[in-house]
Amino acid sequence: MTTQRTAVFPGTFDPFTNGHLDLTRRASRLFDRVVVAVAENSAKGTLFTVEERCEMIRQVFKGSRRVEVVGFSDLVVSCARRVGAVVMIRGLRAVSDFEFEFQMALMNRRLSRAIEVAFLMPSQQYTYLNSTLVKEVARHGGAIRGLVPLLVERRLHERLKALQGSPRVSGAARPGSAPRRG
Residues 173 and 45: beta-carbon distance below 8 Å = yes
Candidate list 20, 26, 90, 135, residue with the active-site label = 20
Range of the domain at 67: 6-126
Calculate what percentage of the chain has a pLDDT beyond 90.
80
Q: What is the per-residue pLDDT for 95?
A: 82
Task: Give the C-alpha separation, 35 to 1, whole Å.
Answer: 22
In a domain, 169, yes or no: no
Residue 7 has pLDDT above 90, yes or no: yes
Q: How many folded domains does the chain comprise? A: 1
In a domain, 113, yes or no: yes
Residue 171 has pLDDT above 60, yes or no: no
Q: What is the per-residue pLDDT for 96?
A: 81
In a domain, 94, yes or no: yes
At residue 136, the 3 state secondary structure works out as helix
pLDDT digits (tens, 9 = 90+) for 98-137: 999 999 999 999 999 999 999 999 999 999 999 999 999 9
Q: What is the per-residue pLDDT for 170?
A: 36
In a domain, 38, yes or no: yes
User: Is 157 known to be catalytic?
Assistant: no
User: Is 62 known to be catalytic?
Assistant: no
In a domain, 114, yes or no: yes
Q: What is the CATH number of the domain that holds 34?
A: 3.40.50.620
In a domain, 19, yes or no: yes
Q: How far apart are the first and last CA of the chain?
A: 39
Candidate list 53, 131, 135, 159, residue with the active-site label = 131
Candidate list 26, 44, 90, 155, residue with the active-site label = 44
Task: Give the C-alpha separation, 114 to 98, whole Å.
Answer: 22
Q: What is the per-residue pLDDT for 177?
A: 41
User: Is 131 known to be catalytic?
Assistant: yes
Task: Give the C-alpha separation, 92 to 49, whole Å.
Answer: 25
Residue 30 has pLDDT above 80, yes or no: yes
Which of 15-19, 60-64, 141-145, 173-177 bottoms out in mean pLDDT, i.e. has the lowest?
Answer: 173-177
At residue 117, the 3 state secondary structure works out as strand
User: Is 25 known to be catalytic?
Assistant: no
In a domain, 177, yes or no: no
Q: pTM value?
A: 0.87
Candidate list 33, 53, 90, 93, residue with the active-site label = 93
In a domain, 155, yes or no: no
Which one has a higher pLDDT value, 134 or 44? 134
